[in-house]
Amino acid sequence: MSSLVGLVAAAALGGAPVSGQGRLLLQAGGATSLPAADAVSEAALYGVGGLALEWAGDRTLALASLYGGIAADEADGADFGSAALDVEGWWSTGTSVGLTGSASAFRVQEPFTWRTHALRGGPALRVESGRLRTTLVAELGTGATIVEVRRLRGTRRAERDLWSRGVELDLAVTGSAWRSGVAFGVWESDGGDFGRAGVSTAFTGGTWTVQAETGLWHTPLGTEWTGGVALSIPLGSSMRATSTVGRASPDPLTLVEAGDQAGALFAWSIASFGGPPLPVATVVHTDGGPAVDFRLDDLDLPAAAAVALIGDFTGWTPQPMHREGDRWTLTLSVPPGLYHYGFQIDGEWFVPDGLPGNVPDDWGRMNATLVVDEDDGGLR
């Protein structure tokens, strides 16, 4: 479903087919004090499980999830179910305008029914300059909460319509094995005014990733700190374990309050789908002439702590690539011509399979071939 939403968004923005890949994940684990279950007053332990569907395209990203939780002790907690969809689409790669959107639903059944649903989204602007990426998002949101309490004389029902509007600004700097950023946001909502300022950082050791964030929130209930730490490590080729601990942020739309949480989740990749892998090299046009965006996705290369691009257009001098989420990227000005290139993964030579023009060099290594056309700066 998320892949379909991503493709629709991309078609609306760019009007051309978008390559990309997706995967279906089976997830299971445990958690305590899930913040969305604020209808339960006591901290509780839960067993959680569900499915997640991920899609990554050259101009689209999407994630759909369906989860359920079972309380270990019905005296302290309550079984719950949740569903969510997040999607973003951009007019082009690099600096671009785009759209973001999300939908979510949550339900607690006992000791009384409490459920909420929300829909939010709006235009976005992304500006990239070297290692710096700035993203500005304007968001409108709508939703509702419903509480039903069973009494001897019947069921009492209370429903509240929700709305919000706000702006978020995110500035991120990416290095070869790290990413740091600051974020700011302000919202008006049915429950009052909200404001946020936060910082985040992430490091990768090739096979593992650790992320940390902290933020200061102003809410109608006062000012409070939120934040947490997450560690993700692979367990084999198709399994990953993630553990988190911290204090979850409040939600200006659904009015869920901040809450302590901790948990561990194991994810198995059980299926993949989509078109061909995203291109490793893509020409972009700049005021100074043609440039080439180089990118490697995690699925295309061995686990790495450092990745560099090297070729005859760099004088065979390694050029460090930058980590951006699940990919390594680098943009270089490349004059028209025919070139050969490859990558260094932790110092070892690497060229993805299936690239056009893969040929051996004088040392027996495979090189990829890049042709920048003189007429239009296109790749041949």
In order of their start, the domains of the chain are: 2-274 (2.40.160.40), 281-372 (2.60.40.10)
Distance (Å, rounded) from C-alpha 362 to C-alpha 269?
Answer: 39
User: Average pLDDT in the 103-129 region?
Assistant: 87
Distance (Å, rounded) from C-alpha 257 to C-alpha 192?
Answer: 13
Distance (Å, rounded) from C-alpha 29 to C-alpha 204?
Answer: 23
Question: Does residue 96 register a pLDDT over 70?
Answer: yes
Q: What is the mean pLDDT of the chain?
A: 80
Higher pLDDT, 179 or 106: 106
Indicate the pLDDT class of residue 206, thresholds 50, 70 and 90: low
Indicate the pLDDT class of residue 205, thresholds 50, 70 and 90: low
Question: Does residue 275 register a pLDDT over 80?
Answer: no
What local confidence, expressed as pLDDT, does residue 375 receive?
54
pLDDT digits (tens, 9 = 90+) for 42-88: 567 888 999 999 887 767 889 999 989 888 776 666 788 899 999 99
CB atoms within 10 A of CB 331: 19
Higher pLDDT, 91 or 102: 102
Distance (Å, rounded) from C-alpha 74 to C-alpha 161?
Answer: 29
One-letter amino acid at 44 equals A
Question: Does residue 89 register a pLDDT over 80?
Answer: yes
Whether the link from the prior residue into 276 is cis, omega within 30° of 0, is: no
Percent of the chain with pLDDT over 70: 77
| Three-state SS at 189 | strand
CB atoms within 10 A of CB 150: 12
Question: Does residue 379 register a pLDDT over 90?
Answer: no
What local confidence, expressed as pLDDT, does residue 42 receive?
56
What is the DSSP code (8-state) at residue 288?
A: T
User: Average pLDDT in the 145-151 region?
Assistant: 80
Distance (Å, rounded) from C-alpha 163 to C-alpha 314?
Answer: 52
Distance (Å, rounded) from C-alpha 369 to C-alpha 380?
Answer: 9
What local confidence, expressed as pLDDT, does residue 1 receive?
36
Closest by Cα among 67, 158, 69, 141 to 110 = 69
Task: Give the highest mean pLDDT range of 7-21, 91-105, 264-278, 316-330.
Answer: 91-105
User: Average pLDDT in the 134-161 region?
Assistant: 85
